[in-house]
Amino acid sequence: MRTELTGIAGILAKGEDTVTSKLAMILGAMESRGSIVKTTIVRRGDGFVAIGICSHPHERPPATRLEEIGVVVDGRLPDSLELEEIGGQADQQALFDAMSTAQPFCCLTVSAGRILAIRDVLGQKPLYYGEDPDGTGAFASLRTALTNKRCFDQVEDVAR
């Protein structure tokens, strides 16, 4: 059975319109990863944080409870780490153990008004970060989703 790829993205910006439009643009650039899109936006002190996922209709992505726990995942989380732990009170050791596994995954979650980005240590499921000239920061599991239309000039692999 072939597993389809899922696309995940996150964005931090000052304006709600900026967060909404740029997240939609990034997820739209990953339409090959799925046409079913789910997003959540959280207000933080001086701006907004949003995360989203796109998946295929016949797939059930691990983030089906995005609104409840605020986690999006590309791949499969290690058995040692549950979605509720990430969105709730995962301890530092559980996160370290998850990142040290050979299981291919990357995930984004909103925590205390910030985005927490986690990926497997081998980088089998890549995760990229970019910033635009206005200081808006974004994560995506597909590099071209950030470089599309040259919105985010400086894009780097999260592992570097």
Give residue 68's pLDDT: 54
* Whether 105 contacts 77, CB under 8 Å: yes
pLDDT at 63 over 50: no
pLDDT grade, residue 93 (50/70/90)? low
Residue-wise pLDDT for 3-48, tens only, equals 567 899 999 999 999 999 999 999 999 988 888 888 888 888 889 9
pLDDT grade, residue 72 (50/70/90)? confident
Higher-confidence residue of 66 and 106: namely 106
Tokens matching residue 76: 């499969």
Cα separation, 157 vs 64, whole angstroms: 26
Give whole-number Cα distances, 38 to 112, 114, 125, 145, in Å. Answer: 21, 19, 20, 16
Cα separation, 70 vs 108, whole angstroms: 8
pLDDT grade, residue 158 (50/70/90)? confident
pLDDT at 65 over 60: no
3 state SS of 43:
strand
User: Alpha carbon 139 to chain centroid distance?
Assistant: 6
Higher-confidence residue of 92 and 35: namely 35
Q: With left for phi above 0 and alpha for psi between -120 and 50, is residue 87 left, alpha or beta?
A: alpha
Stretch 100-121: mean pLDDT, rounded? Answer: 80
pLDDT grade, residue 1 (50/70/90)? very low
Cα separation, 81 vs 16, whole angstroms: 31
Task: Give the alpha-carbon dihedral of 76, 78, 80, 84, to 10 degrees.
Answer: -30
Thinking of the domain 7-157, which architecture would CATH place it in? 4-Layer Sandwich (3.60)
Cα separation, 127 vs 134, whole angstroms: 22
